[in-house]
Amino acid sequence: MSDNDKKQKVLILLGSPRKKGNSAALAREIAEGATSGGAEVESLFIQEMDIKACQACWTCQKSDSKGCAIKDDMQDIFPKLIEADAWVITTPVHWFNMSTQTKLWLDRCFALAKYGKDPFKKKIGIAITYGDTDPFTSGAINAIRSFQDSFKYVGAKIAGIVYGSALEKGEIEKNETVLKAARKLGEKLSRGV
Domain ranges, ordered by start, for the chain? 9-48+68-190
Q: What is the largest CA-CA distance in the chain?
A: 52
* 189 contacts 38 by C-beta, under 8 angstroms: no
CA pair distance 52, 45, nearest whole angstrom: 15
Taking the C-alpha atoms of residue 185 and residue 163, their distance in angstroms, rounded to an integer, is: 12
On whether the CB atoms of residues 164 and 175 are closer than 8 A, the answer is: yes
Q: Which of 121, 102, 128 lies closest to 30 in space, CA to CA?
A: 128
* Phi, psi of 130, deg, nearest 5: -145, 155
Tens-digit pLDDT string for the chain (193 aa): 455 578 999 999 999 999 999 999 999 999 999 999 999 999 999 999 999 999 999 999 999 998 999 999 999 999 999 999 999 999 999 999 999 999 999 999 999 988 888 899 999 999 999 999 999 999 999 999 999 999 999 999 999 999 999 999 999 999 999 999 999 999 999 999 8
Domain 9-48+68-190 falls in which CATH fold? Rossmann fold (3.40.50)
Predicted TM-score of the model (pTM): 0.95
143 touches 128 (CB < 8 A)? yes
Phi, psi of 189 (to 5 degrees): -65, -30
Residue 3: other Cβ atoms inside 10 A? 11
